[in-house]
Chain A
Amino acid sequence: MTAVASPSATATGRGARLARRAFVVRELGIGLALVLLVTVTYLANPRFLTAQNIKDLLLGSAILAILAVGQAIVVITRNVDLSVGSILGLSAFATGSVFVASPGLPIPVVVLLGLAFGAVLGTVNGGLIAAARVPALVVTLGTLYVFRGVDYMWAQGRQINAADMPSGFLRMGSAAMAGLPVLALFAVVVLVAVGYYLRHFRSGRELYAIGSEPAAARLYGIPTGRRVFAAFVASGALAGLAGVLHAARFGTLDANAGLGSELNVVAAVVVGGVAIFGGSGSVYGAALGAVLLTTIRAALPVLGINPFWQDAAVGVLILAAIGLDRALSARVGRSLRERKSSHG
């Protein structure tokens, strides 16, 4: 290595390390906020951390976390999927209907069916966005209405009750394995798999490249259309899975399952430090965001705060998260610039 090359090499090395540290700080911050919230609530009321309550918290976060992981994949590519609530609803009702039609179906088959069904709906989104080159916000707002409308038409005011579904399936919605609720295990598996893929696979890294600068990614030779398409299929599949789990957990299904949950999911992703304009953040952060949102809702009544403050607290949290993220990236940007200018 020549003397001329070495300063710039260390500069970029240090810059990368700095950027990586910012990445860790982001997740750490959310984790810290979560720990702080749990500690304060626990000190105020030790019953907050009973085994049952922890189980309820994990159960409550699991479905939101799975949706948030799917949403994060899409948001990282500088897109957004507003149709996830409707996909969840449609998939949940489909799950119920499958059981009504053939009660003997093994549970794993139903889970796979839900994933596949969600993936098909995601294909509609991804196809329109990637092939017709139209903005994701508009398309998924459209499919939010279309999928929900189809759901209403299909249900026609009917309700599928717990009695229509096998008890083994419903038990999956509340059972625990090694202390962890089965639904939370689903969420962990999804999280680790997607997290590993995004970090260690070439196509996973390319999603970040697309999100930080789509034009440059295209020039570099990344098949942006195909990658974005795949991101929407993945988001749809995970929303489909969430629908199956929703059916297992709640037992009673009408066409309103997951109504209005899309903004909650986007909120979890944003709180989790995934930049809304793509290119940065991780699915771990998004999942932590989902847990944090769920915990806040559960903690307020325990802290003796009027539960009507829930939504307001979530709103403040979102604003704080994006403000913090902004300050952090501004600082990283500034020190990267300073390094560069001191060497140049």
Chain B
Amino acid sequence: MARLRAVGSWDAVVVIALVAVSIIGALAIEGVGDPRFWRFVTLEAIPIALIALPMTLIVITGEIDLSVASVLGLTCTVMGQLWVSGVTSLPLLIAISLLLGAALGAVNGLFITGFGLPSLAVTIGTLALYRGLAYVVLGDRAVANYPPEWTTAAIKPIPGTTIAWMILVVAALAVLFGLVLHATPIGRGLYAMGNNAEAAHFAGVKVGLTKFWLFVASGVMSALAGLFWTLRFASARADNGIGLELAVVAAVLLGGVSIFGGRGALLGVFAAVALLGVMRNGLQLAYVPANTLTVITGSLLIASVVGPNVVGVLRERLRSRRRRRRSTAPTVTPTT
């Protein structure tokens, strides 16, 4: 119970930080909080948010997927190559890309659940493999001649606002993932296997199968992010989204998901994605060099794990002191 409350409070901390940073930014920096500002924040956050959804679930089960950015890159190049070789139907391209993502995720899942290999090592391997295949597909070429109506459609704002409509897709998927995680037996199973996979297995949770499908979902979502990436920048290149995996993992951990699994919530992760986006864009408007943000991101990440631990230790010390005082209370009259 105490742990549950602690998780809830961390979500609240991140949400409050997001609101506070937004308000302070809007007051202190010209341009922050403008409609244009939110447009850039959301455009930048969309791919990270898309990948963070399955990543949250995967980390809650105690695993990790470092290959996501390479899946994104490979999807970009395959889509570009198909377009160059004459596949001009957008629905077909989307379908092939998502299927490709599912297949790449299934390879991860097979190695991890089928052969019982550690996900950290497997996905470092497929990180290199998928990125390598992306280079094999396109080399150092870029495919950029997509029809303008596609590229504008991808970033078209919701009527009456400046925010890209893709955010609605993200929101719908977030509701879906949130429901699965927080309101179904599957979701409770994810927490259970993150806390103790063996116990979860004996309690009837299909650990291997569930994890397998999580990695497939991660592949599909990364491919979706790849589609968006290609159309947003109107460019398919083998190095698209390189290094994005660490940004996603950082957001998930900052959002309060325990790297050991079994703990975390989607709300905190979403707030963390938004918080990082607002800070990055806000500081850019304030002419703070981008590298300052790198330091802040890293410090926040460390603070997000050190903070709760320090609080926990202090609370423990306080409790034991109180207990000691209570046990000595009958014989010693308190002087204060």
Decide yes or no whether B8 CB sits under 8 A from chain A: no
A313 to B135, CA, bound (A): 12
Q: Which residues in B have their C-beta under 8 angstroms from that of A139? A: 302, 305-306
A149 to B302, CA, bound (A): 14
Decide yes or no whether A306 CB sits under 8 A from chain B: yes
Of B117, B128, B293, which contacts A322 at CB under 8 A?
B117
Contact with A along B269-302 (1 / 0, CB 8 A): 0000000000000000000011111111111111
A interface: dominant SS? helix
Of B118, B126, B250, B302, which contacts A315 at CB under 8 A?
B126
Task: Contact check, A142 vs B135: say whether CB atoms are below 8 A apart.
Answer: no
Task: Contact check, A319 vs B125: say whether CB atoms are below 8 A apart.
Answer: yes
Using A145-B298, A146-B299 as known contacts, say yes or no to A314 and B128 having CB atoms under 8 A apart: yes
Task: Contact check, A318 vs B125: say whether CB atoms are below 8 A apart.
Answer: yes
Decide yes or no whether A219 CB sits under 8 A from chain B: no
Q: Which residues in A have their C-beta under 8 angstroms from that of B155? A: none
Of B121, B291, B298, B305, which contacts A318 at CB under 8 A?
B121
Residues 305 to 322 of chain A near chain B (Cβ within 8 Å) = 306, 308-319, 322
Distance of A151 from chain B, by nearest CB (Å): 8
Which bucket holds chain B's interface residue count? 35 or more
Task: Contact check, B246 vs A141: say whether CB atoms are below 8 A apart.
Answer: yes
Task: Contact check, A152 vs B289: say whether CB atoms are below 8 A apart.
Answer: yes
**Chain B residue, CB-CB nearest to A318:** B125
Decide yes or no whether B180 CB sits under 8 A from chain A: no
**Chain A residue, CB-CB nearest to B139:** A308
Decide yes or no whether A238 CB sits under 8 A from chain B: no
Decide yes or no whether B17 CB sits under 8 A from chain A: no
Contact with B along A113-134 (1 / 0, CB 8 A): 0000000000000001000111
Decide yes or no whether A266 CB sits under 8 A from chain B: yes
Task: Contact check, B132 vs A314: say whether CB atoms are below 8 A apart.
Answer: yes
Distance of A293 from chain B, by nearest CB (Å): 10
Distance of B31 from chain A, by nearest CB (Å): 23
Of A142, A306, A322, which contacts B121 at CB under 8 A?
A322
Which bucket holds chain A's interface residue count? 35 or more
Decide yes or no whether A323 CB sits under 8 A from chain B: yes
Decide yes or no whether A263 CB sits under 8 A from chain B: yes
Task: Contact check, A312 vs B132: say whether CB atoms are below 8 A apart.
Answer: yes
Using A132-B310, A266-B124 as known contacts, say yes or no to A144 and B118 having CB atoms under 8 A apart: no
Using A142-B301, A153-B292 as known contacts, say yes or no to A277 and B118 having CB atoms under 8 A apart: yes
Task: Contact check, A319 vs B111: say whether CB atoms are below 8 A apart.
Answer: yes
Using A144-B298, A310-B132, A313-B132 as known contacts, say yes or no to A323 and B259 having CB atoms under 8 A apart: no
Task: Contact check, A322 vs B298: say whether CB atoms are below 8 A apart.
Answer: no
Decide yes or no whether B129 CB sits under 8 A from chain A: yes
Task: Contact check, A319 vs B302: say whether CB atoms are below 8 A apart.
Answer: no
Task: Contact check, B125 vs A276: say whether CB atoms are below 8 A apart.
Answer: no
A151 to B292, CA, bound (A): 10
Task: Contact check, A146 vs B259: say whether CB atoms are below 8 A apart.
Answer: no
Q: Which residues in B have their C-beta under 8 angstroms from that of A141? A: 246, 249-250, 253, 298, 301
> A residues within 8 Å of B by Cβ?
80, 128, 132-135, 137-139, 141-153, 255, 260, 263, 266-267, 270, 276-277, 306, 308-319, 322-323, 326
A selection of 5 A-B contacts at a CB cut-off of 8 Å is A141-B246, A142-B298, A152-B290, A276-B118, A315-B128
